[in-house]
Chains A and B, each alone.
Chain A
Amino acid sequence: MGNEYYRIALVGNPNTGKSTLFNALTGLRQHTGNWAGKTVSLAQGSVDFKNKTFQLIDLPGTYSLFSNSKDEEVARNYIAFEKPDVTLVVLDATSLERNFNLALQVMEMTTNVIICINLIDIAEKQGIEIHEKRLMNLMGVPVLKISARNKLGFPMLLDTIDRIVNGDIKCQSFQLKYPEEIEKKILKIEQQIHEIIGDTVSARWVALRILDGDESLINEITKQFKLRGDY
């Protein structure tokens, strides 16, 4: 009997150890380097856990998903349109403020998210203490501390992925609340957007992007719908 098969996307700022985590989990010798923008195409590898196969996709490292560059577009399109079963957001424990920016962007797009706070060994050496349980309560998704380099926290990570795809853990869909003026505008167009695109992509997220004047996303949606032939 074949294993059940799930797609797990890895996303994170440059230099947060995404590729290190990817290699450690899959055993692949994907090249890792200490410079930004190194991951250009999508590396894939798999890891077996219990009776499942997790197909890991290493997305390019980005600070944002708002398509200022090809890398960001690749990462955004994968999460929005390829719809991975789970998205792992890999954060640098020593620079959480900026890193959470990306985590929040991902959480606006998709629900099944695990936040992996990596480089925890380095953070602890610097005297940084991270209360992952409190973060978990605030965010409504699993928050795990790991060290990809030292392979710390892997059993917990794999188990958490397993429990999400099984439906044993329900991630809460997270919504940043915007100023009233913006919320009103979202409300005004969200329903119409939903009628056009259905459940393929979060209508609220698309509404926000349209309000932000993100033409590249509108073009991409048109392209995706043409490809699928249901537009």
Chain B
Amino acid sequence: MTRTKIIKLVDGEKGDIIKITALLLDGVMRRRLLDLGFVNGAFVEVAQKSPLGDPIAFRVSRTTIALRKEESGKIEGELIINGE
């Protein structure tokens, strides 16, 4: 049995690939993230972490987008590939 591991995007390490399962935010920011491609089922790669860990750059729908931890801490997904 494979166990699926749900993590928050903010906890991803460089190279991890995460399949989004939930956006735990509302309103304008939720809409914004959906527009950028952070939708349920989307595969997101952790592209780069800044030295202090915030913001983090993600590769989503062929574009690199950096998120603050305020947002990346509210996006959950299944860890598909562990980059380490």
Contacts and interface: CB of A to CB of B under 8 A. Distances in A.
Interface of A: 63-64, 66, 68, 94-95, 97-98, 101-102, 212-213
B74 interface: no
Interface stretch (B7-15, B17-25, B32-40, B50-58): B32-40
A212 B27 CA distance: 8
Contacts of B27: 213
* Interface bin, chain B: 10 to 19
Contacts of A97: 37, 61
A66 B35 contact: yes
Contact of A95 (B28, B32, B34, B63): B63
A101 B63 CA distance: 15
Contacts of A213: 27
Interface of B: 27-28, 31-32, 34-37, 61-63
B32 A98 contact: no
B36 A94 contact: no
A95 B31 contact: no
Contacts of B31: 64, 66, 68, 212
Nearest to A67: B28
A88 B37 CA distance: 22
A64 B63 contact: no
B36 A63 contact: yes
Contacts of B32: 64, 68
A168 B22 CA distance: 45
Contacts of A101: 34-35
Given A66-B31, A97-B37, 20 more contacts: A63-B35, A63-B36, A64-B31, A64-B32, A64-B35, A66-B35, A68-B32, A94-B62, A95-B62, A95-B63, A97-B61, A98-B35, A98-B37, A98-B61, A98-B63, A101-B34, A101-B35, A102-B35, A212-B31, A213-B27
